[in-house]
């Protein structure tokens, strides 16, 4: 009898096809998503703490590749100026490793919170962005790692004779992390061009008109954004970004060409005749109303 009452109460609950929920439910969901993301980062940080020594050797390797004349006593050794610096360094590296290892978790939590408020077409654009963002960022970070020693060698090459620079572990880690983040984030810029084109915001005709300005802006950005600001690092960042931008322009060209080849649904209609919906995506958008 009690089971029948429970099932009857469940049936009497109002349906919620639009996925709407009050403000407090949004806040509770956001809190739960954040807690899950933090738990994932902490679990990744524990892994980074366990494997700290090999990770640090990988990060320190570019410094060991610069000329011996720019290293203290020609050894692969960084210096520290404070008692707490080694501990703070370990915490920073563990947090960075935690963010990297837990990226699928916190990215999914972010997507799970935002996705119910998007239309079906907007979700497809997000899928395209996420599918390309992760490998592009990884490629940029790998390129930054390969060029770390070149940029350090050029910067430390300005050291006068009989002077040995004391590179601290804190300054070196800040330089390395900045390089990895800047290269990775810059490689995402052409992806934004593709997404804006798919969304109909940026056409290939406009990209073609702005090509020279955009290419010049890429080189200016690379010169300003790189921490070392040396010519080699600037070119190492600008040239691959230009190639990716050209690929994005080609994708935009074919997308606009395919879009223009579609038949016009409004052709042959009189002024007082009802027009059909443009495509099935519009019907999906109307059926898939976002939650408030």
Percent of the chain with pLDDT over 90: 17
Q: What pLDDT is stored for residue 283 in this prediction?
A: 45
């390089």: which residue's tokens?
Answer: 179
CA distances from 150 to 129, 153, 231, 288 (A): 32, 5, 10, 52
Backbone torsions φ then ψ of 158, nearest 5 degrees: -80, 0
pLDDT computed for residue 262 by the predictor: 73
Distance, in Å, from the CA atom of 166 to the CA atom of 113, rounded to the nearest integer, reads 47
Which pLDDT belongs to residue 274?
A: 54
Tens of pLDDT, residues 41-62: 999 999 999 999 999 888 888 8
Torsion angle (degrees, nearest 10) of CA 84, 228, 133, 216: 160
What mean pLDDT do residues 240-249 have? 92
The stretch 28-50 carries a mean pLDDT of 91
- Whether residue 201 is predicted with pLDDT greater than 60 in this model: the reply is yes
Cβ pair 291, 113 in contact under 8 A? no
Structure tokens of 284? 């999906």
| Lowest-confidence segment of 101-115, 201-215, 232-246 by average pLDDT | 101-115
Kindly give, in sequence order, each residue whose CB lies less than 8 Å from that of residue 206, ignoring residues fewer than 6 positions away: none
The pLDDT assigned to 239 comes to: 93
CA distances to 25, 134, 154, 180, 217 from 107, rounded to whole Å, are 21, 10, 37, 19, 30
Residue 80 pLDDT greater than 60, yes or no: yes
| Span of 17-26, 132-141, 171-180, 211-220 with lowest mean pLDDT | 17-26
CA distances from 117 to 16, 21, 111, 131, 292 (A): 14, 11, 10, 20, 7
Whether the pLDDT of residue 19 is over 70: the answer is no
Confidence bin at 6 (pLDDT 50/70/90): very low
pLDDT surpasses 60 at 276: no
Please indicate whether residue 266 or residue 158 has the higher confidence score (pLDDT): 158
Query: Do 78 and 164 form a contact (C-beta atoms < 8 A)?
Result: no
Quote the pLDDT of residue 71.
67
Q: Copy the structure tokens of residue 14.
A: 């109002």
Mean pLDDT of 258-286: 57
23 or 55, greater pLDDT: 55
Taking the domains of the chain in order of start, what are their residue ranges?
A: 22-261
What is the enclosing helix (H) or strand (E) of 273? none
Nearest CA among 189, 175, 85 for reference residue 129: 189
What is the average pLDDT across 105-120? Answer: 78
Higher pLDDT, residue 117 or 15: 117
Span 241-258, mean pLDDT? 90
User: What does the pLDDT read at residue 42?
Assistant: 94
Binning pLDDT at 50, 70 and 90, where does residue 9 land?
very low
Q: 168 falls in which pLDDT band (50, 70, 90)?
A: confident
Supply the pLDDT for residue 64.
Answer: 82
Alpha-carbon span 149 to 18, nearest angstrom: 54
User: Angle at which helices 23-50 and 52-64 pack, to 10 degrees?
Assistant: 70
> What pLDDT score was predicted for residue 8?
47
pTM beyond 0.75: the answer is: no
Could you give phi then psi for residue 81, rounded to 5 degrees? Answer: -110, 0
């Amino acid at each position: 009898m009690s089971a029948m009452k429970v099932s009857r109460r469940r049936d009497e609950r109002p349906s919620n096809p639009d996925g709407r929920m009050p403000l407090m439910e949004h806040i509770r969901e956001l809190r739960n998503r954040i807690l899950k993301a933090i738990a994932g980062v902490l679990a990744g940080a524990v892994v980074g703490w366990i494997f700290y020594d090999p990770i640090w050797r990988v990060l320190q390797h570019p410094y060991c590749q610069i000329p011996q004349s720019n290293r203290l006593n020609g050894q692969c050794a960084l210096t520290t100026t404070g008692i707490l610096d080694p501990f703070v360094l370990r915490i920073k590296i563990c947090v960075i490793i935690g963010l990297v290892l837990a990226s699928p978790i916190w990215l999914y939590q972010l997507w799970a919170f935002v996705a119910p408020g998007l239309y079906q077409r907007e979700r497809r654009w997000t899928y395209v962005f996420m599918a390309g963002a992760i490998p592009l960022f990884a490629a940029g970070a790998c390129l930054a790692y390969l060029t770390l020693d070149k940029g350090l060698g050029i910067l430390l090459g300005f050291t006068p004779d009989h002077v040995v620079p004391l590179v601290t572990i804190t300054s070196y880690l800040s330089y390395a992390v900045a390089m990895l983040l800047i290269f990775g984030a810059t490689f995402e810029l052409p992806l934004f061009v593709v997404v804006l084109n798919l969304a109909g915001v940026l056409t290939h005709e406009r990209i073609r008109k702005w090509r020279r300005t955009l290419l010049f802006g890429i080189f200016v950005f690379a010169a300003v954004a790189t921490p070392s600001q040396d010519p080699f690092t600037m070119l190492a960042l600008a040239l691959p970004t230009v190639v990716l931008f050209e690929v994005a322009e080609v994708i935009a060209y074919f997308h606009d060409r395919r879009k223009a080849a579609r038949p016009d649904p409004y052709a042959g209609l009189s002024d007082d005749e009802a027009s059909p919906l443009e495509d099935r995506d519009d019907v999906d958008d109307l059926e898939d109303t976002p939650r408030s």
